[in-house]
Amino acid sequence: MRAEFQRPRGTQDILPPTSQKMEQIRRIAVDTAQRFGYLLVETPVFEQTPVFMRVGESTDIVQHERYSFTDTGGVDLTLRPEGTAAIARAYVENGMFNQPQPVRLCYYGPMFRRERPQALRYRQHTQFGAELYGSVQPEADAEVILLACAVVEKVGLPDPVIRVNSIGCSKCRPRYREALIGYYQEQRSQLCPDCQTRINTNPLRLLDCKIDIAIREQAPDIKEFWCEDCSAHYSQLTELLVLSGRQVSRDPFLVRGLDYYNRTVFEIGHPSMGSQAALFGGGRYDGLATALDGPESTPAVGFGMGIERLLSVVEKNFEILPLTRVYVAHLPGFEGPSLVLAEQLRREGFPAESDLLRRSLKAQLRDAGRRSGVVVIVGGQEWEQGEVGVKWLENGVQMTVKREELSDLLRRQSE
């Protein structure tokens, strides 16, 4: 279009009725979290850059996709690309490790990544997420996943299937890493260029390459390398989920991009989203808070959920019902009384509006017709006698009532 001022690339204007649906999802998410005991935390949308650097130096998200700027005071700041690091910072800064553990938190808000926009991938998107601090037990992982599933389900996506994996811990992962590197070195000549460099930079990511899928089928499975603790953790977690009535499938290739994870990683997708696989994803990151100068051992699990993606798969479940609003129309010269009557009705609890354009009655009715509801007509002889006209647009029924009886009538009819 020829608009001179356009929104920045990869951003969107969320207009009604989409904005109303987003608001409903937000309410469902935060409500559900609260029922699980997770209370809302609001952190700034920007942080000092080192907060994110500390957390994922080798990640694309913080390496190439940062929205950073220096403010006029010379401070290096970054728009948050995800919620976990910011919540960890807040947990440490506010001394929440001194509260009774575990601490259950959730967040909701915009995230920023400077990537190339694509379907359901934006430079600003909205995430809901939850974080559980203070427990190393598999019950903690399970609860967080159950919360994510509950939200997804309440929003209208029945029977979510969770893909889970464990990427081990500092005891067992190094051995697996070596085995993996060894295997891929042998195949090196047949690998795609990306994977050839990945061997050195981030070997675990070799597993979710979409080109060399034949090669990875033969690759060593981390499952064979899990230490006793990791193995027990994984099997207890999946058992808990199954006992809770959730469907779980292990995905040996699931490793996830943020490199602060240990043990549990999980994800859930939806067929309708095409290449945008994940609806929500998360995992355990026991070392994260410590990296941000928190106490020595501060275990944590959490997930992030993409609201725009979620909405895209459940949008049809969110038909916005037209409000039964009252439209106060007026005859020529009765603009004032109609505005006042609308205000009185609002104070009595009716969603009401009046014409502000001094339009003809015909135009007012046409306008009201689009909003489907009740029209109250002010003016003329009826008004002189303390009466108003009332007309229901769906069936055309019309009557005249005393002004004092109007709200009773409207109340009765809306039941």
Partner RNA sequence: GUGGAUGUAGCUCAGUUGGUUAGAGCACCAGGUUGUGGCCCUGGGGGUCGGGGGUUCAAGUCCCCUCAUUCACCCCA
What amino acid is encoded at 380 in this protein?
G
The nearer residue to RNA, 59 or 135, going by C-beta atoms, is 59
Cβ of residue 100: shortest distance to RNA, in angstroms?
A: 29
Q: Say whether 290 counts as a known binding-site residue.
A: no
Q: Nearest-CA neighbor of 129 among 308, 286, 303?
A: 303
Among 272, 297, 398, 414, binds RNA (CB under 7 A): 398
Q: Does 369 bind RNA (CB under 7 A)?
A: yes
Cβ of residue 308: shortest distance to RNA, in angstroms?
A: 5
Among 304, 327, 328, 352, binds RNA (CB under 7 A): 304
What amino acid is encoded at 79 in this protein?
L
CA 68 – CA 54 distance, rounded (Å): 15
CA 189 – CA 204 distance, rounded (Å): 18
Q: Residues in contact with RNA, total (CB under 7 A)? A: 72
Q: Does 306 bind RNA (CB under 7 A)?
A: yes
Q: Say whether 308 counts as a known binding-site residue.
A: no
Q: Say whether 178 counts as a known binding-site residue.
A: no
CA 146 – CA 246 distance, rounded (Å): 8
Name residues contacting RNA, limited to 269-288 (CB under 7 A): 274-281
Q: Does 251 bind RNA (CB under 7 A)?
A: no
Q: Does 256 bind RNA (CB under 7 A)?
A: yes
Question: Interface with RNA by CB under 7 A: which range of 70-78, 97-105, 241-249, 371-379?
Answer: 371-379
Are the C-beta atoms of 339 and 352 separated by less than 8 Å? no
Contacts of 370 (CB under 8 A, 6+ apart): none
The angle, 0 to 180 degrees and rounded to 10, between the axes of the packed helices 138-154 and 18-35 is 150
Q: Say whether 82 counts as a known binding-site residue.
A: yes
Cβ of residue 202: shortest distance to RNA, in angstroms?
A: 8
Q: Say whether 131 counts as a known binding-site residue.
A: yes
Q: Say whether 389 counts as a known binding-site residue.
A: no
Among 32, 59, 238, 338, binds RNA (CB under 7 A): 59
- Give one word for 235, left, alpha or beta, with left for phi > 0 and alpha for psi -120 to 50: alpha
Cβ of residue 98: shortest distance to RNA, in angstroms?
A: 29
Among 40, 136, 209, 409, binds RNA (CB under 7 A): 209
Q: Does 125 bind RNA (CB under 7 A)?
A: yes
Question: Interface with RNA by CB under 7 A: which range of 41-49, 66-74, 90-98, 305-313?
Answer: 305-313
Q: Does 395 bind RNA (CB under 7 A)?
A: yes
Cβ of residue 318: shortest distance to RNA, in angstroms?
A: 18
Tokens of 299: 């275990």
Q: Does 366 bind RNA (CB under 7 A)?
A: yes
Q: Does 252 bind RNA (CB under 7 A)?
A: no
Q: Nearest-CA neighbor of 105 among 91, 85, 93?
A: 91
Among 153, 208, 221, 229, binds RNA (CB under 7 A): 208
Beta-bridge partners for 283: 265, 302
Question: Interface with RNA by CB under 7 A: which range of 39-47, 99-107, 152-160, 360-368?
Answer: 360-368
Query: Measuring CA to CA, how many Å separate 396 from each of 44, 338, 342, 345, 399?
Result: 52, 21, 21, 22, 10
Q: Contacts from 153-157 at CB under 8 Å and sequence distance 24+?
A: 154/28, 154/32, 155/25, 155/28, 155/29, 155/310, 155/314, 155/317, 156/314, 156/317, 156/318, 157/270, 157/310, 157/313, 157/314
CA 363 – CA 255 distance, rounded (Å): 61
Q: Does 119 bind RNA (CB under 7 A)?
A: yes
Binding mask 73-102 for RNA (x = CB under 7 A): ---------x--------------------
What are the two backbone dihedrals, phi and then psi, of residue 84, each rounded to the nearest 5 degrees? -60, -45
Binding mask 144-183 for RNA (x = CB under 7 A): ----------------------------------------
Among 53, 339, 365, 409, binds RNA (CB under 7 A): 365
DSSP-assigned letters across all residues of 10-73: T-----TTHHHHHHHHHHHHHHHHHHTT-EE----SEEEHHHHHHH-TTSHHHHTS--EEE-TT
